[in-house]
């Protein structure tokens, strides 16, 4: 456990995820959904007990969101699929060629899933941002990306935030919610040096961004203009994403990754676990469920 003033950081779910990612809070069950990408695991964790149930699908899973109809929508190696609460796997949209896979994804409050695709070797310019509509049709709304990652919206849904991890930038766009058109592209923040690279993100009710810094062992809070407002160290080397959870959305959960650290099998470090951070002094914004 780590304390920093009134902030409390502790391991909520002890795990050994190779690439833990995509935390999503479920207010109906008070559970946290998250994935281990390359293992094809969709986890649901009780943050009070740390007990986790796992669905395993026959593909990588960049992220999974809840469906209004039940079960999950998953961003997979080939495209998009339905996953039942019993683990039933049903591919619905296969649109990606060999060598490309879906990565991070998030549902907006209009019931659509936004997902980034990337080359397996993270080749420059081979990634794109896709929108999966409620009728399971898809469209590319942005191309020329390298490793699209964290996705979020301003509280009033007028701005889309997107991380390109390989380019070390957090981008911002004006977004037309009727058409999903993105305009006025700008670099909100560029990171350099050895302080880690931006990965997943969450937006708080004040409109500020919390960005997990992969390799940097910390979260960074950015103002809507990109100014760094705070840095919060965490006891994992590769924090991958974060989400506000709890009845009041006032706790931050952070996923992490164990892969690539060269840890021994019996190493009991928290890398690969899910952290919970309380006392940050802000609340989050709710994440939508897929309406298709």
Q: Which residues are catalytic?
A: 199
Q: Which of 286, 272, 277 is nearest to 19 (CA)?
A: 272
Give, in order, the Cα–Cα distances in Å from 126 to each of 21, 214, 248. Answer: 21, 21, 39
Write a three-state SS string for the chain.
CEEECCEEEEEEECCCCCCEEEEEEECCCCEEEEEECCCCEEEEEECCCCCEEEEECCCCEEEEEEECCCCEEEEECCEEEEECCCCCEEEEEECCCCCEEEEEEEECCCCCEEEEEEECCCCCCCEEEEEECCCCCEEEEEEEECCEEEEEECCCCCEEEEEECCCCEEEEEEECCCCCCEEEEEEEEECCCCCCEEEEEEEECCCCEEEEEECCCEEEEECCCCCEEEEEECCCCCEEEEEEECCCCCEEEEEECCCCCCCCCCCCCCCCCEEEEECCCCCECCCCCECC
| Alpha carbon 16 to chain centroid, angstroms | 18
Q: Which of 233, 236, 239, 242 is nearest to 268 (CA)?
A: 236
């Amino acid at each position: 456990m780590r304390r920093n003033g009134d902030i409390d950081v502790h391991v909520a779910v002890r795990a050994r995820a190779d690439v833990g990612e995509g935390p999503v809070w479920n207010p109906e069950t008070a559970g946290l959904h998250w994935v281990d990408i390359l293992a094809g695991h969709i986890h649901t964790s009780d943050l009070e007990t740390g007990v986790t149930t796992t669905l395993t699908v026959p593909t990588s899973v960049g992220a999974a969101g809840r469906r209004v109809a039940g079960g999950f929508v998953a961003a997979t190696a080939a495209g998009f699929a339905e996953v039942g609460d019993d683990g039933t796997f049903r591919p619905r949209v296969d649109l990606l060629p060999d060598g490309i896979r879906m990565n991070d994804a998030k549902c907006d409050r209009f019931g659509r899933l936004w997902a980034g695709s990337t080359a397996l070797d993270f080749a420059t310019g081979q990634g794109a941002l896709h929108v999966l509509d409620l009728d399971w049709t898809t469209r590319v709304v942005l191309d020329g990306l390298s490793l699209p990652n964290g996705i979020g919206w301003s509280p009033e849904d007028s701005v889309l935030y997107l991380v390109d991890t390989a380019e070390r930038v957090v981008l911002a766009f004006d977004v037309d919610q009727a058409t999903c058109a993105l305009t006025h592209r700008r670099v909100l923040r560029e990171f350099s040096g050895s302080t880690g690279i931006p990965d997943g993100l969450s937006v708080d009710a004040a409109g500020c961004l919390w960005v997990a810094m992969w390799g940097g062992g910390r979260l960074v809070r950015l103002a809507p203009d990109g100014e760094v407002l705070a840095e919060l160290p965490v006891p994992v080397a590769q924090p991958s994403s974060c989400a506000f959870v709890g009845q009041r959305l006032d706790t931050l959960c952070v996923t992490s990754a164990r892969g690539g650290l060269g840890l021994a099998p019996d190493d009991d470090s928290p890398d690969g676990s899910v952290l919970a951070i309380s006392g940050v002094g802000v609340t989050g914004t709710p994440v939508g469920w897929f309406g298709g």
